Structure 1
Amino acid sequence: MKIFRTTILMLLISITGNITAQQTPAPKQTEAVTIVGAKAHLGNGEVIENSLIIFENGKITHVMDALTTKMQYRGEIINAEGKHVYPGFIAPNSTLGLVEIAAVRATDDEDEIGEMLPHLRSLIAYNAESKIVESMRPNGVLIGQITPRGGTISGTSSIVQFDAWNWEDAAIKKDDGLHINWPNSFTRGRWWLGEERGMKPNKEYADQVLKLSQFFNNSKAFLAGKQIDIHLPFKAMETVFTGQKKVYIHVNGEKEILDAIQFKKDQNLNEMVLVGAYDAYKVTDKLKDNNIAVLAQRPHLTPSNDGDHYDASYKLAKTLSDAGILVGLEGSGQMETMNTRNLPFYAGTVAAHGMDKEDALKLITSNTAKILGIDEFVGTLEGGKDATLFISEGDALDMRGNRIIKAFIQGREVSLETHQTELYQRYSNKYKSQKKK
């Protein structure tokens, strides 16, 4: 009887594992692939109407006009006439793989206890088998910057591709940047503590900024000393001061942005990126003069301030781009892990409100790659770069046209099946059978 129960238990575990696990990652590319006839959106603002793209060993070897070249096709030939090909979309400032079910604490690794946590690495908590990560691929989102949350200094992000066995396989750039949540000069009354409701000046703002500056200064002093004792937070700051890590400041208000710019100067930081940056359009000259890039908040948000235009969020990226600032799009906020799959439609919304479609595409491809420091191998369709790309039936920035038929990560053809597509097939077949009756 005991043996029977054990057998049943093992069978149930096996079945459950098969139901919940992600698909097996694709094997390494062994044969060249030629895509011919597609309209190629290169990700740098250029378009080839009738393209020829060849990649092998995980790298793009040729991108050219199919009508003017005599290049011989190689390996597997994909006839993509009438379709579109794009570089894989890149999702910065994302908690993908860190949170699976928000209501289940054991599946939430986005935040740790503490205020100054530069030594924390989001990469080692990344779950490559996340069902949510898997659901990004059918919309063309193939790369992400996995970013911690919480505290004043949240920790270090890393950049991964979305088809891997584990975090080691997934990583394409480890520990790329330090993330700081800039204090807010206004605070909302906590009614549950008896405080007055509504927004009011934050009396502790100056002290909070000073505390951040002191942490940077103390880190420099520690690193300049003999370092007899080990202090992990201070030690982790070394790569920030040497310029190996970028500094990402999560900030929105005009005053806070200006203070962050001054902080960059005071701390002699080489590269700083603003994340969110709702009021950045008010200080574009300052941003440009200090060579500060922006990962603009997702456009699908309501205006934050009284008197803001209804389309303020829609036009932020275009306004900054027109001012000569390097801009990408990020998707943090409510239900951000799920909503990351809407990244191409964020860019589509920006295009619908004045930006050229190919320039809007750059917000989630080449621009973001430059901001993250990975543009040497992803972000555009160019020879020598990773074959991380996809083929769509139509315009990938439009919900009606974003129908991915093939996707490749580093030359490997990845599965586009997810829990959602399985449910779609199940219920579409159900209703099809009912119609026949």
Structure 2
Amino acid sequence: MTFKDLDLSNQLQYAIDDLGFENPTPIQEQAFSVVRSGKDVVGIAQTGTGKTFAYMLPILRDLKFSKQLHPRVLVLVPTRELVLQVVDEIEKLSKYINVRVLGVYGGANINTQKQAILQGQDIIVATPGRLYDLGLSNALKLKSIQKLVIDEVDVMLDLGFRFQLMNIFEILPERRQNVLFSATMTEDVDVLIDDFFKNPEKISVAVSGTPLDNIEQVSYNIPNFFTKVNLLHHLLSDKETYNKVLIFVGFKRTADYLFKQLEEVFNDEMCVIHSNKTQNYRIRSIKQFDEGKNRILLATDVMARGLDFDNVSHVINFDTPEFPENYMHRIGRTGRAEKVGKTILLSTEKEQESKLLIEALMDYEIPVLELPEEIEISKLLTEDERPKEDHEQSKNRTKVEYVPGAAFHEKSEKNSKTNQGGSYRREIAKKYKKPKTRGDKNYNKHNKKK
């Protein structure tokens, strides 16, 4: 099947031709007529299968030209980076159509966004938090929304956007079409569908956990963090093979620490993104990596979820993710649009259990490669890797560990005095021999005791 069989408008077909696409992916093929029908839709497909085009093609096909100021289509995505990416995709598709698109997200000036909304928009792409702020401040009128698309909904719920989503549903018109896309079907997603969707049509292309056939996976068993760093140095020094590499880590702290270890050798070739980095830094890092100015991008799971990069040669999992689904999303960054991709998984002894869970989900055993001989096995250990007795001496020692001894010096004489109470006052009185009749100086003067 080709795009020409999909009943696209001429303008959309010209845009698709310009992009060089000929055949729709399975999700695009199946979703087209269902989304156009106006029913509620739930699409389950892995990352890298072209979900953005799957919902935008049918929506743009039926979106008539209008001069109205209020938006008619709302697309919700979990991260700011995805907002920019989806806006970019829509602009590519609407090259020959007169459609106004705006992306709004936190971390940018809200007043500029309000002004842009007032100019009039057809499609708003937003993160839930910022959209709710704009809806409450009345800058964005949501009463004319006809279609609501929630993309990467499983990530949204993972990030704790559940309440914002509920609030957004409250302020949207009841009569609308809901389109939801997710890479995994979790219980939370199920509850959301039951509560807010009316007899949705379900499209499932690939069960989460089936790796894409065009991704070649290998793994290394490595004793510790610094040996992993040594292996990375070895692999990344081959610039021809590893020409566009995405390195995943589980935590922001690990990302920064690893960046420090690699910075000296690959400083100009690498960048890092995680949620503690500023918005401008993140946008710049992604752009430089996408354009090929930087060869290596270091990212945390949530940050790179759903991001689409062309021609990623390798995805390196620096640590083994605890949740098998995260591994699926990581490796989905390569081998996109049916190209061949390669992934490498680095696992320590501690991480073997997580690796087994990943293999069970995929029903596939990842081949293990021998470490190259020139890799030095590091004896250095990180804080987390050291034996417990080395670093678990509590700073707030318990009574059992800490038995106080005697004071380290004798008390000085003045500090040795004890409170004598009433008798002490009597001693003072004796010493200074207070007059019996107080204040009568003349009497005292004449009647001195001899």
Give the TM-score normalised by the residue count of structure 1.
Answer: 0.25
Structure number with higher strand proportion: 1
**Structure with bigger RCO (C-alpha 8 Å, 6+ apart):** 1
- Over alpha carbons, which structure has the higher Rg? 2
TM-score by length of 2: 0.24
